[in-house]
């Protein structure tokens, strides 16, 4: 049985998520960048860090909590005559 490919352990964890932003690297024109960043050097990829920041923000933001909408610092609602 052959040894597992050692580069697979160093692949970007976002590759399997099918994020559409990563798809551009999977073309013949971007093949060099795909190997440089997606397989081995993903800590140098700006998109890797952006996706991580978005995931962290989603985890910190409660879901299902209504948000108060304001315009210029004032709550919406029926306008009052002066």
> What is the rounded CA–CA span in Å between residue 55 and residue 24?
21
Q: What is the pLDDT of residue 32?
A: 87
pTM: 0.56
pLDDT over 70 for what percent of the chain?
A: 71
Using an 8 Å Cβ cutoff, are 45 and 12 in contact?
A: yes
More confident residue, 5 or 13: 13
16: in domain: yes
Q: How many domains does the chain have?
A: 1
Domain encompassing residue 28: 6-60
pLDDT average, residue stretch 50-71? 79
37: in domain: yes
């Amino acid at each position: 049985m052959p040894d597992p490919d050692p580069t697979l352990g160093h692949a970007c964890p976002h590759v399997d998520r099918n994020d559409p932003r990563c798809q551009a690297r999977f073309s013949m024109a971007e093949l060099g960048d795909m190997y440089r960043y997606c397989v081995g050097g993903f800590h140098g990829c700006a998109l890797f860090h952006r996706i991580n920041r978005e995931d962290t923000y989603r985890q910190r933001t409660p879901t299902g909590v209504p948000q108060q909408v304001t315009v210029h610092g004032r709550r919406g609602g029926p306008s009052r005559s002066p």
